[in-house]
Amino acid sequence: MIETLAVVGATGAVGRIILQLLAEREFPAKNIRLLASARSAGRTIDVGGRAVTVEEMTPEAFTGVTVAIGSTPDEVALEFVPWAVAKGAIVVDESAAYRMDPSVPLVIPEVNADAIRDHKGIIASPNCSTTQMVMALKPLHDAARVRRVVVSTYQAVSGAGLSATGELRGGMQGLLTNEAEPRAIFPHPIAGNLIPQIGSLRDGGSTSEEMKMVYETRKILGDPTIGLCVTCVRVPVFNGHSESILVETEKKLTAHEARELLAAAPGVVVQDDLSASVYPTPRLASGRDEVFVGRIREDQSSPNGISLWCVSDNLRKGAATNAVQIAEVLAR
């Protein structure tokens, strides 16, 4: 049981889902406090039938907090996390600010929950696209050691925030009625389009989102030798990220073996019957906490290759659910 749990960024898109999950999962906390920016302070939010008033996030606001879950931009996390740790709280941080800090464990509870023990006050939750991919890679890595991954992501606009969802909705209407399409979030119109850029340019021509997947995957699986080639694409889907993944392993796995390994993995659901058009789609995965895998087949161009299709709700398992699961481990 946790004495006091604080949710930082409680009024944001992911923060709202965190509050929903705390009620759904009957999170073991005696007290729940909600922290946000000054403009949100004073609002009252229902948390599992309890009316909780949002407080302004200040250093003193973390006094008495046992665990804090933070869902904020990187620059906000860099500000508040030291405040919370200084007050004795353990922070589960969803931003990218501390993920690659060697002193901070980067955790997916179904994959490397043991790493939580090594925390020094901060535990990082991975990027949404990394989380679902590593959930699918973990059982294959344990059985046959993953050597190389080629992945293309099809990422929903919800990953860019509430305004991005509105931009897609308005863009779809404009596209259909031949009217002006709103564009404030994305560099190109998103409705009826694909944008092969998520994040900023990095050395070598990759984007920051692509390099997150490279570095975070290696850290979580504890293997810096895994080769990854990543292409991240924003697609006109409201919610739910999809990924086409080619996995090359040291030891050969048949499609049947890979399917059985994935079906037995915690948090993974296999939906794989192409003859009956059974495979994961983002609409079916939206609102769910599992990672869904299908189209599992041996790659005909690689002797030790397995191809698969992976889908997950990026706001839930990719963000809110993973953070709440980490906090549940701390509570236990």
Q: Are 280 and 262 in contact (CB under 8 A)?
A: no
Q: At what angle do helices 255-263 and 128-144 cross, to 10 degrees?
A: 120
How far apart (Å, rounded) are the C-alpha atoms in residues 163 and 117? Answer: 37
Question: Which amino acid would we find at residue 242?
Answer: S
The active-site residue out of 128, 141, 232, 310 is 128
The values of phi and psi at residue 294, to 5°, are -155, -170
Question: What is the DSSP track for 92-121?
Answer: EE-SSSSTT-TTS-B--HHHHGGGGGG-SS
Q: Are 88 and 107 in contact (CB under 8 A)?
A: no
> Which two tokens mark 224?
């810096």
How many other C-beta atoms are found inside a 10 Å radius of the C-beta of residue 276?
A: 7
Q: Is 188 a catalytic residue?
A: no
> Which two tokens mark 128?
């949404």
Tell me if residue 169 falls in helix, strand or coil.
helix
How far apart (Å, rounded) are the C-alpha atoms in residues 322 and 92? Answer: 10
The active-site residue out of 119, 232, 241, 310 is 241
Q: Is 241 a catalytic residue?
A: yes
How distant, in Å, are the alpha carbons of 19, 52, 68, 76 from that of 31? 13, 10, 12, 24
Q: Are 126 and 241 in contact (CB under 8 A)?
A: no
> Which two tokens mark 167?
């931009």
182: DSSP letter = P
Active site residue ranges:
128, 241
